[in-house]
Structure 1
Amino acid sequence: MRRAVFGAMALGGGGIGAMRWYTARRTRARAGRQGARWLTVTINRRPEEVVPDGRLPEPLARLGDTIEVQVREAPGDRGTELGARPVLQAPTGVDQVLARLGGEDPRQAVRRALRESKCLIETGEVLRPEPLGPRRPVPAGRTADLAARRGGEGRP
């Protein structure tokens, strides 16, 4: 009897897992047909200051027609939400991992442009971290260096 109960539980758990996988797959496929998801930053300024006369901030304007942009007031009177998404279909699966490692994922450029736009609008300049001093070349340090280069944070 115990075997039957555990067998039924395992079968039910497997069925639930399969259903979740199938539902997630359909949701991702549907989202892929509608385009990439919006990447958004909240800027502590009024919408008129974020896009004066309808002109995008320079980091976003550099991307030109490769992105869609939306500007709206943030909920609770907390500034402005500036959102952007790439027009081109982003890679998925293994191609996505390879594109991100190679620095060719279009979402990385949009993220960087949004981050730079926020800094530029709020402070008047694009803030960059100061380079770290000399370090011992250990595997963790190499991994951190690679991540900083890919993210654009380690560049002067």
Structure 2
Amino acid sequence: MPQLSLHSPLGPLTLSEEDGKIISLDWGWGRDQTETPLLCEARDWLDKWFDEPKTMGTFPFPLDPFGTPYQKKIWAALCAIPVGKVTTYQALAKQVGGSPRSVGQAVGRNPIPILIPCHRVVAQRGLGGYSGDGGLDDKRWLLNLEEAL
């Protein structure tokens, strides 16, 4: 599976591709580096997004996260949250069905963070959690970058 890493303000990130689609974004530098056209375009898009997220819109390349149908439904709803906006676990649960807890579990298992913007989901009282390498500090940083806080 081709992987390509990039330097970011949150530290090194690694994109992985399978069958012409992005399947994961992980914290850390990947062992293997393969410059496919998709991975290079995705890396360049992310570089620009970290500079000006409000001008970049949604991630324009195909995503194929591995997950259950319910998780994929949650992740699709995350992609519809505009840059600079947040929603709550409770509001997302009402939108897609399920409980705030089940939504939180699906959000926490998002294999393509930032591109599937799980950082835009917050708790009723506070930020909630974040599974990125820097935890809530990364979530707060991403929301500040998007001017959502």
Shorter-chain TM-score: which interval?
A: under 0.3
TM-score norm. by structure 2 comes to 0.24
Which protein has the bigger helix share?
1
The structure with the larger Rg is 1
TM-score norm. by structure 1 comes to 0.23
